[in-house]
C-alpha cells in the first residue's frame, strides 16, 4: 500500500468513528504501528485536516472535512494525467491550456512521492489533433454554460448551407471531429452538428427557454428509444 493510500484509509477510518478513538485502536484497524500512526496524523494535520486530539486522549475528525487534492491513489493519478494530456492535445485552445494549468496546480500540492509518480507516468496520448474548426469552441462551451441560443451557418455533407438557430447543451469530442448537440428551431428536434462544418457562429444573447440538464436528459432518452441495428 502506498503512503497516499494509507493516509486516505486513515481519514476514512476516522470518519467511521463519531467519538474520539484511541491511537492504538486506529493503528490496529489500519494494520500499522502506533509510531507510524502518529506520524501519519501529524502529516494530515500539517496538510489542513481538522483532526483533534493527541496521544493518550484519542483522535476525532471534524465533520464536513473534504479530502485535499493530494489524496489520490496511484490509478487516480494515472487517470488524471491521461485525461489532462488528452484534453491538452485537443483543438480547443482554451480548454487545452486549462488542462495543462490544472495538471500543474495538482502537481504543486502533491507530496514529493506522488509528484514523482505524476511526472513519470508512462500513459501516453497520441499526436495533437490538427484543428479544422473555423469557429471558437470556447464560445460554444460558453453558450452551453450560459444556456444561450446560437445563430449558425451550417454546411451539410454536400456543402449546402443553411441558417439555423439552435439551443446547444452538449459538446462531444472524438478523435477527428467535435460534435455539438443541440435543439434545432428549424427542425424542431435534436440535431448533431459537426463543428468543422459550422461556417459562422454568433451567440445571440437570448437564453433558451429550457434548462440544459432537461434537454440532455430528453436527448439521451431519444437515443435509448432508437432502434438497434
For residue 186, CA distances in Å to 122, 151, 191 come to 48, 11, 10
Residue 67 has pLDDT above 80, yes or no: no
For the chain, the structural domain boundaries read 3-61, 74-119, 137-225
pLDDT of 34 reads 92
The CATH number of 3-61 is 1.10.10.10
User: 222 versus 12: which is more confidently predicted?
Assistant: 222
DSSP per position, the chain: --HHHHHHHHHHHHHH-SS-B-HHHHHHHHT--HHHHHHHHHHHHHTT--EEEETTTEEEEPTTPPPPTT---HHHHHHHHHHHHHHHTSS-HHHHHHHHHHHHHHHHHS-HHHHHHHHT------SPPPP--SS-HHHHHHHHHHTEEEEEEEE-TTS-EEEEEEEEEEEEE-SS-EEEEEEETTTTEEEEEEGGGEEEEEEEEEEPSS-HHHHHHHHHHHHHHSPP-
Quote the pTM value.
Answer: 0.64
pLDDT of 68 reads 55
Residue 70 has pLDDT above 70, yes or no: no
Q: Which residues, in sequence order, are bridge partners of residue 203?
A: 150
Residue 52 has pLDDT above 70, yes or no: yes
C-alpha closest to that of 17 among 8, 25, 7, 28? 25
For 187-197, write each residue's pLDDT tens digit. Answer: 999 999 999 99
Averaged pLDDT score across all residues of the chain: 86
CA 59 to CA 146: how far, in whole Å? Answer: 45
Q: Which residues, in sequence order, are bridge partners of residue 178?
A: 173
At the second CATH level, the architecture of 137-225 is Roll (2.30)
pLDDT of 226 reads 62
Residue 134 has pLDDT above 70, yes or no: yes
Residues 68-72, mean pLDDT to the nearest whole number = 57
DSSP per position, 75-124: HHHHHHHHHHHHHHTSS-HHHHHHHHHHHHHHHHHS-HHHHHHHHT----
| Angle of helix 74-88 versus helix 93-109 axis, rounded to 10 | 150
Residue 225 has pLDDT above 90, yes or no: no
Residues 138-158, mean pLDDT to the nearest whole number = 95
Residues 77-84, mean pLDDT to the nearest whole number = 87
The pLDDT-based confidence of 211 (bands split at 50, 70, 90) is: very high
Residue 209 has pLDDT above 60, yes or no: yes
Residue 229 has pLDDT above 70, yes or no: no
Residue 153 has pLDDT above 80, yes or no: yes
CA 145 to CA 169: how far, in whole Å? Answer: 8
Residue 142 has pLDDT above 70, yes or no: yes
For 25-51, write each residue's pLDDT tens digit. Answer: 999 999 999 999 999 999 888 888 888
pLDDT of 71 reads 60
Query: Which single residue is written with the C-alpha cell 453558450?
Result: 143
Which of these ranges, 3-12, 76-85, 136-145, has the smallest mean pLDDT?
A: 3-12
Amino acid at each position: 500500500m502506498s503512503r497516499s493510500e494509507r493516509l486516505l484509509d486513515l481519514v476514512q477510518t476516522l470518519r467511521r468513528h463519531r467519538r474520539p478513538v484511541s491511537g492504538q485502536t486506529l493503528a490496529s484497524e489500519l494494520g500499522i504501528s502506533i509510531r507510524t500512526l502518529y506520524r501519519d496524523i501529524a502529516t494530515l494535520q500539517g496538510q489542513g485536516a481538522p483532526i483533534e486530539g493527541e496521544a493518550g486522549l484519542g483522535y476525532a475528525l471534524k465533520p464536513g472535512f473534504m479530502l485535499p487534492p493530494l489524496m489520490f491513489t496511484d490509478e487516480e493519478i494515472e487517470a488524471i494525467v491521461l485525461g489532462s494530456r488528452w484534453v491538452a492535445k485537443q483543438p480547443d485552445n482554451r480548454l487545452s491550456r486549462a488542462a495543462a494549468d490544472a495538471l500543474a496546480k495538482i502537481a504543486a500540492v502533491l507530496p514529493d512521492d506522488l509528484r514523482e509518480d505524476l511526472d513519470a507516468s508512462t500513459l501516453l496520448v497520441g499526436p495533437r489533433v490538427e484543428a479544422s474548426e473555423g469557429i471558437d469552441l470556447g464560445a460554444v462551451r460558453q453558450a452551453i454554460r450560459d444556456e444561450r441560443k446560437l445563430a449558425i451557418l451550417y454546411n451539410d455533407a454536400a456543402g449546402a448551407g443553411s441558417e439555423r438557430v439552435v439551443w446547444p447543451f452538449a459538446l462531444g469530442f472524438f478523435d477527428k471531429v467535435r460534435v455539438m448537440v443541440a435543439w434545432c428551431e428549424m427542425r424542431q428536434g435534436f440535431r448533431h452538428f459537426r463543428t468543422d462544418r459550422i461556417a459562422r457562429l454568433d451567440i445571440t444573447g437570448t437564453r433558451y427557454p429550457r434548462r440544459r440538464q432537461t434537454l440532455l436528459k430528453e436527448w439521451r432518452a431519444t437515443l435509448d428509444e432508437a432502434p438497434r441495428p
